Amino acid sequence: MGAVVADDGPSGVKAPDGGWGWAVLFGCFIITGFSYAFPKAVSVFFKELIREFGVGYSDTAWISSILLAMLYGTGPLCSVCVNRFGCRPVMLVGGLFASMGMVIASFCTSIVQIYLTAGVITGLGLALNFQPSLIMLNRYFDKRRPLANGLSAAGSPVFLCALSPLGQVLQHQYGWRGGFLILGGMLLNCCVCGALMRPLEPPKTSEAAKEPAEKKVKKKLLDFSVFKDGGFVIYTLAASIMVLGLFVPPVFVVSYAKDLGYQDTKAAFLLTILGFIDIFARPICGMVAGLKWVRPRCVYLFSFAMIFNGFTDLMGSMSVDYGGLVVFCIFFGISYGMVGALQFEVLMAIVGTQKFSSAIGLVLLAEAMAVLIGPPSAGKLLDATGRYMFVFIIAGIEVTTSALVLALGNFFCIKKKPEEPHTKEEAAEREELNKSEDKAPEDAKVDSIEVEQFLKDEPEKNGEVVTNPETCV
């Protein structure tokens, strides 16, 4: 899993690793924040929706579930759109969908209408922004890609810490309808982020101009050949198992604290601790993953992050007081941040730039099924046993199992790929060496032709061939 050449086709445009890439990173940071934090931030309005429509908490919880299902489950659709139309147009349309869904939801008169607007339409809009932003980040960064992934992933905890209090203020000042309307306006910023995604263009050459237009049409809308890559199959399997338990502890830790007898504000503060630690863990882990001796082994660092997360869940199951839960949230924030910073970096390294748009769509589709199974199954287990300990134990076992699948699968089943040059100097040296090797036979051929022609054209003097030291042999 060496460095990847960032290109959108056979032209081979190298990643600039900076420049306009920093603007792309900023846009990706905002999109990641909205995509992951918005489904959780909407839960602030649930009590008012329950009062307005006379439904239960489980009915309102479907809004967040539908948002997440759309974010993950529409992965292949996003891949097809990106491969057909490009990242920037898809993100602009997605921003309009995300905003439109929340604006229309502010006028809804039933919970089912909110499912369709705030759930399906807004969820589709966020999905059409999230996946293309990651694809563009991969195209703009190569050497600094682990750091870029870590910084963009930090958008999730930052926006979660910001959107939840903002939602409470909006609900208090304007009610849920006014809050939805304002949040819909905020989601128009996704269009601004989409406008930042300037495509990389290859240098124009005479050969590129002569290339027939038919070749560009033949580009696959969804490349299933990624399943021929053993590394991708192992990654998809491991990621699906991981998602079964990864999101369970953040969902139940507040209820766990309340069950131990602590006040609502004190219990909710646990998520603040977790989010604060997560903010710093993601970029720091990205920096570590970018180190020269770590990056080729990034998949094993990802496995370590998952094992760390799984064991943290197992230790958290034994917490009996508030102090124990605080310690759990600190270590869970570190491990959760590491997983968040590395999950897409590892996928990019496995499949490369050209296949990443298809690969991420297929991975998100597989994870969507696990997202819909994991938390509800944990809730049923809690209803059956009445103990949070078993919920945390099962979650820890699932995440640890995924780490073992990824690490052992790569160690025993994947052959080591030849290393690619990481620096411009190495790449230039290799290119020059290849050119000299290609030119050598041609030069030899030219020399032999010239000698043969020279021998044929020897001048004759008085019917006798004039000899010289070069031709007398």
Residue-wise pLDDT tens digits, 53-70: 888 766 787 888 788 888
pLDDT at 405 over 80: yes
Grade residue 425 by pLDDT with cuts at 50, 70 and 90.
low
Q: What tens digit of pLDDT does each residue of 285-325 get?
A: 888 888 888 888 888 999 999 999 999 999 988 888 889 99
Q: Which domains, from first to last, does the chain contain?
A: 13-199 (1.20.1250.20), 223-423 (1.20.1250.20)
Nearest to 278 by CA among 393, 102, 160, 147: 160
Question: Mean of the pLDDT values across residues 120-125?
Answer: 93
* pLDDT of amino acid 370: 82
* pLDDT of amino acid 1: 40
pTM reported for the whole predicted model: 0.72
- What span, in angstroms and rounded, lies between the C-alpha atoms of 274 and 333? 5
DSSP lists the bridge partners of residue 25 as none
Question: Mean of the pLDDT values across residues 264-268?
Answer: 77
- pLDDT above 90 covers a percentage of the chain that reads 24
Nearest to 193 by CA among 110, 130, 269: 130
pLDDT at 3 over 60: no
* pLDDT of amino acid 430: 52
3-state helix, strand, coil in the chain (%, to 5): 80, 0, 20
Q: What tens digit of pLDDT does each residue of 433-461 get?
A: 455 544 544 444 444 444 445 444 544 44
* pLDDT of amino acid 205: 59
* pLDDT of amino acid 403: 92
Question: Mean of the pLDDT values across residues 373-377?
Answer: 78
* pLDDT of amino acid 220: 66
* pLDDT of amino acid 446: 44
Q: What tens digit of pLDDT does each residue of 179-214 get?
A: 999 999 999 999 999 999 988 776 665 454 455 544
Question: Mean of the pLDDT values across residues 390-408?
Answer: 91
- What span, in angstroms and rounded, lies between the C-alpha atoms of 148 and 136? 11
* pLDDT of amino acid 320: 84
- What span, in angstroms and rounded, lies between the C-alpha atoms of 381 and 440? 71
* pLDDT of amino acid 432: 58
Average pLDDT of the chain? 79
Candidate ranges 3-12, 354-363, 396-405; pick with highest mean pLDDT: 396-405
pLDDT at 265 over 50: yes
Grade residue 244 by pLDDT with cuts at 50, 70 and 90.
confident
Question: Mean of the pLDDT values across residues 370-378?
Answer: 78
Q: Is 464 helix (H, G, I), strand (E, B) or coil?
A: strand
Q: What is the CA radius of gyration of the chain?
A: 28
